[in-house]
Amino acid sequence: MDTKQKGDIAEQAAILQALKFGWGVLKPVGDRLPYDLVFDVDGTLIKIQVKYAWFDGVRGNYVVDNRRTKTNRRQMLRSAYREQDFDFAIAYIADRELFYIFPVAVFISFASEIHLVETDRRQRKPRSAAYRDAWQLIERRAAYRETGMRTSVEFGEAFSGVIPSQASETEEGVETEWQTP
């Protein structure tokens, strides 16, 4: 299976999940935009970049390239995404039917790859663990854009069991509820 097919599988899985939540889904024509999908969450449009995570047998974890890749017949060009390119990146692990939902600022803060650890043998959870199946971040972002106000959350809900010091921060060093699960 080539990388285009894997990307299509990840996109379709994200579309199916969004439809299960009752969200509308828009798909741009062509693939020249820095995002793959747009979710309509209660009338608020959220731009989504979808990535397929592959298994790295040597390291025993899943890997997502967080750079934009353009190809032509002769070469592959990679460049960094910018914060205005999309709102969220969704990384899909097909063999586990699992999603990681990263706000754009978090996604682009990783060097060039994001390693998703799906084993419980580690003493400390990796930074990416906070974004495992964090679909509520998209809903919070939509609510924030619609009202301009943060949504209330119960104690402990905002971090899904992750210690706040392990959760990532935005570039300004300030976390917002739609960014942190």
Q: Are strands 44-52 and 37-41 parallel, antiparallel or unpaired?
A: antiparallel
> Is the residue at 104 inside a domain?
yes
CATH of the domain at 21: 3.40.1350.10
CB proximity list for 159: less than 8 A, separation 6 or greater: 130, 167, 180, 181
Q: Could you read off the pLDDT tens digit of each residue along the chain, which spans 181 residues?
A: 888 899 999 999 999 999 999 999 999 998 789 999 999 999 999 999 999 999 998 988 999 998 887 777 677 777 889 999 999 999 999 999 999 999 999 999 988 889 898 876 666 778 888 999 999 999 999 988 777 765 554 444 444 444 444 444 443 444 455 555 5
Number of domains in the chain: 1
Report yes or no on 146 lying in a domain.
Answer: no
Which pLDDT score is estimated for 155? 44
User: pTM for the complete prediction?
Assistant: 0.78
pLDDT for the residue 125: 78
In a domain, 162, yes or no: no
Identify whether 176 is part of a domain: no
Task: Note whether residue 89 is domain-resident.
Answer: yes
Residue 76 in any domain: the answer is yes
Q: Is 49 a member of any domain? A: yes
Range of the domain at 63: 3-134
Residue 25 belongs to a domain: yes
CA 63/CA 6 separation, integer angstroms: 13
